[in-house]
Amino acid sequence: MKIVILGGVAAGAKAAAKARRILPDAQIDLYTDDTHISYSACGLPYYIEGNFEDYKLLLVRSPEEFEQNNVHIHLQNRAIKILPSSKQVLIQSLTSPEAFLVDYDKLIIAIGASPVIPPIKNVNLNHVYTVRKIEDGIAIREKAEKSKNAVIIGGGYIGIEMLEALVKQNLNVTLIEYSNTIMQTFDDDMSQLILEQLNFINEGRFNILTSEIATEFSGDNEGVKSVKTGSGKEFPADLVVLCAGVRPNTAIAVEAGIEIGVTGAIKVNEKMETNIKDIYACGDCVEENLLITNSKIWLPLGTNANKEGRTAAINACGGEDKFMGVLGSAVTRCLSLTMSMTGIGVKMAEQLGIETVFAKVSKDDKVGYMPDVNNITLKLIADKKTGKLLGCQGVGAGDADKRVNTVTSALLAGLTVEEFHRNDLTYAPPFSPTIDPLLNAAQILISKLSKS
């Protein structure tokens, strides 16, 4: 058995490790255009922030470790064409002019996603960065440690994490977001709350601009010096970080005749099979099933990539496994503020034609006399017709994420709000009020549903 894996990091590396455990005698080759094989890309902002000194702590497995298990790692080798009819892949070396064909019995595509580069004038100036690979993190941190001013383009998850990282490196930071608020995956009222709370804890360390577009970078041969916006503003910048999102890498799949889904990512079934026999796909290049609505979503997260890589490997090796889908769960932090969500919010529900009812509460996350008590705001959403829970969003300096994590299990079980309200949540003063804010929200939601 010859198993060829295209791409590393989370999905590809997981697939390689799992395939080796299942088939000790299979020939396994992994090709990646990266300089590292298995690492925590999600940890890059925290390395840039200065939480730890050695970037090697981000490395999960080295090529040498894989080779010790007879998994052959080919760094800086890019797959440029898949030939399903002959079961071959054309590989281009990035360190020499050499290109060569490799045969496969089973092919696993884990080629990930690439940062979106906005159409900004002079976007190719030096010290304009994206945050995707180990080299990105090293370069940004080195530049940040000897800089005064930074500009971030984009106010999503990575933009918010980079805001914290650069503020903690003592830079003056300006974040520019083209829409009217940041963190657009949340409902608008929760996004606005995030913006308000970040501005409240700001203390002059950063500036968040919404409804503003970066149009031009100014600089010289040394690099970027300032950022101009469509409204005529200009901000000094020793470095710029582009956080305008990512898009799935699909070109090689499209050319091979592999079907692309409604989200623009590769379409796979529960076994991570594509429409072409013996070709599987996993990770940031594929779309997932959103379990709440049984619709398609593209959610490029390391957690999903690991699970999908495992499933792809099991099935490619002749086993039987299914990855049923995702709940849309996510969490991040900026300074002292936690932002977390699971399921769907009112905004997405409306887009899908689902009528909703929601309850929103702001409460202390533990008993008020505890020294580390903090406020959280929870928004609990339900289907107006069925009473089933649809999602939860949490924001605050307190433990919002653990409440959201509680709701994920309820969503997986398909509980109604009534059923969820019977939940026997733990209580002690350092952990929760006697009635948890989550149950407060559920009680309000029950009342609203009974009147609807």
Question: In whole angstroms, what is the distance from residue 9 CA to residue 113 CA?
Answer: 11
User: For the CA atoms of the chain, what is the radius of gyration?
Assistant: 23
Question: In whole angstroms, what is the distance from residue 409 CA to residue 402 CA?
Answer: 12
Question: In whole angstroms, what is the distance from residue 252 CA to residue 122 CA?
Answer: 29
Q: Which among 320, 319, 341, 435 has a CA at the least distance from the CA of 394?
A: 341
Q: Which among 160, 208, 197 has a CA at the least distance from the CA of 394?
A: 197
Question: In whole angstroms, what is the distance from residue 449 CA to residue 433 CA?
Answer: 25
Q: Which among 283, 285, 277 has a CA at the least distance from the CA of 253?
A: 285
Q: Which among 377, 380, 290 has a CA at the least distance from the CA of 339?
A: 377
- The verdict on whether 42 is a catalytic residue reads yes
The two tokens of residue 127 are 């010290």
Q: Which among 222, 217, 36, 62 has a CA at the least distance from the CA of 136?
A: 36
Question: In whole angstroms, what is the distance from residue 167 CA to residue 202 CA?
Answer: 10
- The three-state secondary structure class of 331 is strand
Kindly name the residue from 42, 282, 317, 392 that is annotated as catalytic.
Answer: 42
- The answer to whether 180 and 169 are in contact (CB under 8 A) is no
Question: In whole angstroms, what is the distance from residue 241 CA to residue 224 CA?
Answer: 11
- The three-state secondary structure class of 24 is coil
Question: In whole angstroms, what is the distance from residue 391 CA to residue 361 CA?
Answer: 14
Question: In whole angstroms, what is the distance from residue 335 CA to residue 168 CA?
Answer: 9
The two tokens of residue 376 are 């959280």
Which residues, other chains included, contact 348 with Cβ-Cβ below 8 Å and sequence gap of 6+?
A: none
Give the residue numbers annotated as catalytic, written as ranges: 42
